[in-house]
Chain A
Amino acid sequence: MNRFLWPLIGFVVLVALLAVGLNLNPRDVPSPLVGKPAPDFALPQLAAPEQTFSPKDMLGKVWLLNVWASWCVSCRQEHPVLVELAKRQTVPLIGLNYKEVRGDGAIDIDKVAAGAEKPLVIERAAAWLAKHGNPYALSALDIDGRVGIDYGVYGVPETYVIDRAGIIRMKHTGPITPEVYSGKILPLLAELSK
């Protein structure tokens, strides 16, 4: 009996470890930015490119920053959730349009003239929002992805929950599913808005 007991226990432990390991999401990398102030920036706004948006404008409010692009397939997937979220007007949702033109694999950025990129970004982003609905209070344009690097963006869509003091309280990588929204984001927003 004892002869088989220990190998059996070893096998069960191994299976348990593998089961846990296989169910972890390797894309879910903990962000070092959680608990730290949201990196500052000043970027042109999509609807009014002559004006800039800065996270400082949002001090005193709990808000969401959602990184998106029209070429991002998963953004399409989460978009209805964002539209629904915006309808309920829980908290302001700010978009960060990330590398709209140069992030698109179908476009060779070297062939886009220097001055032509920004108008193209605005045209494409606005067209996408017109087609799928605009849940954003406003969208800031991160044309070259420099701000994305400061926020540790590595896979669009990404969403940040930022509190009244401008501290990042949560980062979600990948599309927001209704489960993530009601299970993780909504409770946190309720707690932060107290």
Chain B
Amino acid sequence: MRRWLIVLLVALGSFGAGGLHAGEAQPLAEDEVTEKRLVAISTELRCLVCQNESLSGSHAELANDLRREIRTLIKDGRSDAEIMEFMVSRYGDFVRYRPPLKGTTLLLWFGPGVLFVGGLAALVLYLRRRDRAISDTPLTADEQRQADTLLQDTDSRQGLS
């Protein structure tokens, strides 16, 4: 609880300071290329502590550790794919903001599209059926006469006003 309070206070403090006090807790590495790759990789990764934050934006302790770990891996000359594999093998597909396409994620990837197409098809089907139902029943002679009188009635009333 106290730790969260501190995080909150730090966050509020950095707002107040208006950019004087940047959020990044880790000292910037001297190497700019490493830093750019670190940001690129860590924005693709989820911080497991505050699950809706990316690893690059998180102030959580674990996020700091993992950023340091990724920095070390970059300096060891590992490729982006290898670093991603390092993270996934420890924390699972959940750390990736873009989950891989496989059996268990099919619904995740295609579910919304299937729902949309299904909904669209249902709508078209419904509209067509309604259209047919309306045009398929012409008025009987009796109804036609009734309609005519009603129309005439409104016409004459409109003429009065």
Q: How far is the CA of A33 from the CA of B62 in the complex (A)?
A: 18
> Known contacts A105-B2, A105-B6; is A29 also within 8 Å of B94 by CB?
yes
User: Residues of B contacting A105 with CB < 8 Å?
Assistant: 2-3, 6, 61
Interface size class of B (residues with CB under 8 A): 10 to 19
Query: Are A32 and B1 in contact, CB atoms less than 8 angstroms apart?
Result: no
The secondary-structure label for the interface of chain B is helix
A29 and B48 CA atoms in complex are apart in Å by 9
Question: Is A155 an interface position by the 8 A CB rule?
Answer: yes
Given contacts A29-B91, A32-B91, A33-B90, contact A149 B2 (CB under 8 A): no
CB-CB < 8 A to B2: which residues of A?
A: 105-106
Q: Indicate whether A154 reaches chain B with its CB closer than 8 angstroms.
A: yes
Report yes or no: B92 in contact with A29, Cβ–Cβ below 8 A: yes
B108 at the interface (CB under 8 A from A): no
29 A-B pairs with CB atoms under 8 Å apart are A26-B51, A29-B91, A29-B92, A29-B94, A30-B92, A31-B91, A31-B92, A32-B90, A32-B92, A32-B93, A33-B90, A73-B1, A99-B61, A103-B61, A105-B2, A105-B3, A105-B6, A105-B61, A145-B62, A145-B65, A149-B66, A149-B69, A151-B90, A152-B91, A152-B92, A154-B49, A154-B62, A154-B91, A155-B48
Interface residues of A (CB under 8 A from B): 26, 29-33, 73, 99, 103, 105-106, 145, 148-152, 154-155
